[in-house]
Amino acid sequence: MRNISKVVIGVLFLLLSVQFCFAYDEPDNFAGVKFKEDLRLQLVECPYLDVDGAYKKFPDYLKIKSLGKPCYSAGSLKDTYVLSNMGEIQKYVFDISARQIGDRLEEIHMNFSSVGALRILAILNQRYGAPTEKSVEPWQSRGGVKTTSIRAIWKGEKVSILFREHNTRIEWGLLSYETDVSIADNRNRMEEAIKKSAGGL
């Protein structure tokens, strides 16, 4: 009987531990666009400039603004897209990019002004609750400027959120949403890059 009680307590502890690890209000969408579904079937394509003989399509930002609803345009890399008219969040960021894996939305990235970082962090806290991880880390630019940067993570079972007060430039912060598929894919690509680099030594 005691052994059964120990097993039950152990299982309950494990379940609570797993729940604690992913303890935040995990989203299944970004601004109404569902993760793990094809964003091209959820949004209309943005208008493009009518340029004869152009080697690529260029978004027509005046028409996009007047469109008045969310849309996507082709990104600079394969399977990437630029999202426009995405609602309230668009006011606080420079750009919103998305990446699909297997024709499914798995990543969202946004650059924002570091001046407004605390406001964005407050919005995230209100929407998703306290981050599962938060730290203040040393940060240094390529030019040698030193400061600190707030780093916060909302770790989920299917979708995780990363916030950086300063990213590649001191005036730019980063906000990203990544699914479990995206995290695994990025890890695999990093490992492959390391193997290739090591092979050249």
Kindly report the pTM of this predicted structure.
0.83
- Domain of 111 in residue numbering reads as 26-199
Structural domain count of the chain: 1
Q: Is residue 17 part of a domain?
A: no
Structure tokens at 160: 């995780």
Q: Is residue 1 part of a domain?
A: no
pLDDT score, position 198: 78
pLDDT band at 136 (very low <50, low <70, confident <90, very high): very high
Average predicted confidence (pLDDT) for the chain: 88
Q: Is residue 146 part of a domain?
A: yes
Q: Is residue 14 part of a domain?
A: no
pLDDT score, position 51: 78
Q: Is residue 19 part of a domain?
A: no
pLDDT score, position 8: 36
Q: Is residue 15 part of a domain?
A: no
pLDDT score, position 70: 97
Q: Is residue 20 part of a domain?
A: no
Tens of pLDDT along 34-58? Answer: 999 999 999 999 999 987 766 678 8
Q: Is residue 21 part of a domain?
A: no
